[in-house]
Amino acid sequence: MSNTCDFQEPFDLFANWLEKAKELEPRDHNAMTVATTTTDGKPSARMVLLKDWDQDGFVFYTNFDSRKGQQLQNNMQAALLFHWKSMNRQIRIEGPVEVVSDELADDYFNSRPRDSRIGAWASQQSRPMEGRWVFEKEIAKYAAKYAVGDIPRPPHWSGFRVKPHFMEFWQDRKFRLHDRHIYLLNDEKNGWTKEVWFP
* Catalytic residue positions, numbered: 176
CB of 125 to ligand FMN, least distance (A): 6
CB of 157 to ligand FMN, least distance (A): 9
Number of amino acids touching ligand FMN (CB under 6 A): 16
Residue 22 is a binding residue for ligand FMN (CB under 6 A): no
What is the rounded CA–CA span in Å between residue 19 and residue 71?
31
- Only segment of 57-65, 73-81, 86-94, 178-186 that touches ligand FMN (CB under 6 A): 57-65
Looking at residue 26, what DSSP letter applies?
S
Euclidean distance between CA atoms 169 and 90, whole angstroms:
6
| CA atoms in the 13 A half-sphere facing the CB of 25 | 19
DSSP 6: G
153 lies in the site for ligand FMN, by CB under 6 A: no
Q: Which of 1, 24, 49, 129 binds ligand FMN (CB under 6 A)?
A: 49
Comparing CB distances to ligand FMN, the nearer of 20 and 156 is: 156
Helices (H), 25-178: 67-74, 102-111, 114-122, 132-145
